[in-house]
Amino acid sequence: MTRDRRLSWINGLLLPLFNVLTAFIATGIVFLFIGVDPIEATKILLYGALGYDEGLGYTLYYATNFVFTGLAVAVAFHAGLFNIGGEGQAYVGGLGIALVALYINPAMSSWIVIPLAISGGLLFGALWAIIPAYLQAYRGSHIVITTIMFNFLASALMVYVLVNVLREVGEMSPESGDFIKVSWLPFVHDVFASFGYKIARSPLNLSILVALFFSAAVWFFLWHTRWGFAIRAAGKSNEAAIYSGINPKKIIVVTMCISGALAGLVGINELMGVQHRLFLNFNYGYGFGGIAVALMGRNHPIGILIAAFLFGILYQGGAELDFELQNVSRDIVVVMQGLVILFCGGLEYLYRPVLIRFLAPIKESK
C-alpha cells in the first residue's frame, strides 16, 4: 500500500474507530467509578434495546430523531458551519407541524395533510435557521453564538405560544389540543397488523421511512448535485469557492435553511407519530445529540444512520438500566454523548500522531 492509501485508511477508518472505542472505554470507567459492573451494564443495555420486539421498536423510534438532527448538523458541517441551534430549530419546527395538524380541514385526506404537516416542520425549522444564517453571511456575526441565542429564543417563544395561544380553555398544562386525526402518522405495529403480522406495540411510526428518505436525499444532494458540490467546496476553502464562481454568502444561507429544515423534522416523529399534540420540551436533547451523531457518523448519511441507531440503543437501553440497576439512571447516555463529542470531535486527532508513526511513517530520504 502506498503511504497515501495508508493515510486515508488511518483518517477514514482507524481514527474514528479508535475515537469511538475511547469514548466507550471512558464510559466504562464512569461505570466503575459509580460502582456498576460495565460488562453487566452493557448486557442489560443491549438486551433492553435489541433483545425483544418492543425494545427494538423503541430503539428505532429514538434513532429516528437522531437521524434528523444528525443530518442537520452534518449538512452544516459540510459547508464549514457549526449549527448548534438544532435544539431550537426542532422546537420551532414542531410549531409548524402543529399549526397544520391542529387547524387543517379534518375532511381532507391524510395523503394531503401529512405532507403538508411535514412541510410545516421543514419550513419553520428553516425559518428559525435563516436569521442566524443571514447574520453570519451578511453581518458577520458568528453563527455559533447566534444559534445558541436562538435556542433560548425558541424556548421563550414556545412557552409563550403554548401558555397563551395554543393551550385549550380550562386546561392547566401548557400543551395544545389533540391533532386532527388525519395528520397522525401510523404506528408501525398498526401497519404490520393491517397486513396480518402481529408485532409488539411501540412508539415506532412511519417517520422512520421519512428519516430514511431524507438520508438518501441528503446523500444525493451533497454528492450528486451542483449545489451540494458548491456547499462542500465552500466548506473546504472559501477562497477556492469564490474563485470558481460560488457565492459563499448564498451558500451559508441555503445550507443553514436545509440544516434547520432537517432539524425541524424531529416533530414529525414525536408529535405526528406519537403524542399527537404539541407540548413543552418535546425536542429536549435531540438537537445536541445530533452533534454527537454527526461527529460519530463522520457527516456521511450512512455513518449517521449507524450512529443514530447506536444512540437509539443507548437511549432505550439506558431506560432499561434505569429500571434494572439502582445506582445508575439513563442520564448515563448524556455522559456518553458528552464523551463521544469530546473524543470524536474535540480530541479527533488524539491518536493520529501515534498511528502515523507506526503505520505510515515518513520514509527517510531515499
Partner 1 sequence: MSDFFLTSVLTLDASVRVCVPLIFAAMAGLFAERSGVVDIGLEGKLLMSAFVAASAASVFGSPWLGLIAGMFASAVLAMIHGFASITYKGNQIVSGVAINILASGLTMILTLAWFKRGGITPTLQGEERFLSITLPGVDIIDHIPILGVIYRELISGHNILVYLAFAIVPVVWWVVYRTRFGLRLRAVGENPKAVDTAGLSVEGLRYRALLIGGILCGIGGAYLSTAYNAQFTKEMTAGGGFIALAALIFGKWHPYKVLAACFLFAFLQALAIRLQGVIIPGVGEIPVQLIDATPYILTIILLAGFIGKAVPPKASAQPYIKEL
Which parts of this chain interact with partner 1 (CB under 8 A)?
30, 33-35, 82, 84, 135, 139-142, 144-146, 148-150, 152-153, 156-157, 159-160, 164, 288, 291-292, 295, 327-329, 331-339, 341-342, 345-350
d(CA 259, CA 290): 11
The residue (of 60 and 341) whose beta carbon lies closer to partner 1 is: 341
Distance, CA of 89 to chain centre: 11
- Torsional class of 298: left (φ above 0), alpha (ψ -120 to 50), beta (otherwise): left
Closest distance to partner 1 from the beta carbon of 38 (Å): 13
The residue (of 212 and 334) whose beta carbon lies closer to partner 1 is: 334
Closest distance to partner 1 from the beta carbon of 333 (Å): 7
Spell out a b/e string for 204-224, using b for 16 or more CB atoms within 10 Å of the CB, else e: bbbbbebbeebbeebbebbee
The DSSP result for 86-139, as a single string, is HHHHHHHHHHHHHHHHHHS-TTS-HHHHHHHHHHHHHHHHHHHHHHHHHHHHHH
The residue (of 102 and 334) whose beta carbon lies closer to partner 1 is: 334
The residue (of 148 and 217) whose beta carbon lies closer to partner 1 is: 148
Residue 354 CB coordination number (10 Å): 10
d(CA 175, CA 38): 39
Closest distance to partner 1 from the beta carbon of 175 (Å): 16
Closest distance to partner 1 from the beta carbon of 338 (Å): 3
Closest distance to partner 1 from the beta carbon of 269 (Å): 21
Q: What are phi and psi of 113, to 5 degrees?
A: -65, -45
d(CA 319, CA 327): 13
Q: Any bridge partners for residue 279, and if so which?
A: 175
Closest distance to partner 1 from the beta carbon of 119 (Å): 27
Burial class of residue 316, CB neighbours in 10 A (0-12, 13-18, 19+): buried
The residue (of 199 and 334) whose beta carbon lies closer to partner 1 is: 334
Contacts of 225 (CB under 8 A, 6+ apart): none
Q: Any bridge partners for residue 175, and if so which?
A: 279
Could you give the 3-state DSSP secondary structure of residue 239?
A: helix
Cβ atoms of 256 and 133 within 8 Å: the answer is yes
Closest distance to partner 1 from the beta carbon of 186 (Å): 34
The residue (of 208 and 314) whose beta carbon lies closer to partner 1 is: 314
Amino acid, res. 28: G
The residue (of 185 and 313) whose beta carbon lies closer to partner 1 is: 313
Closest distance to partner 1 from the beta carbon of 268 (Å): 25
The residue (of 154 and 204) whose beta carbon lies closer to partner 1 is: 154
Cβ atoms of 71 and 304 within 8 Å: the answer is yes
Closest distance to partner 1 from the beta carbon of 139 (Å): 4
* 26, 41, 65, 221, 268 from 207: Cα distances, Å: 33, 30, 9, 20, 7
The residue (of 47 and 284) whose beta carbon lies closer to partner 1 is: 284
Could you give the 3-state DSSP secondary structure of residue 37?
A: coil
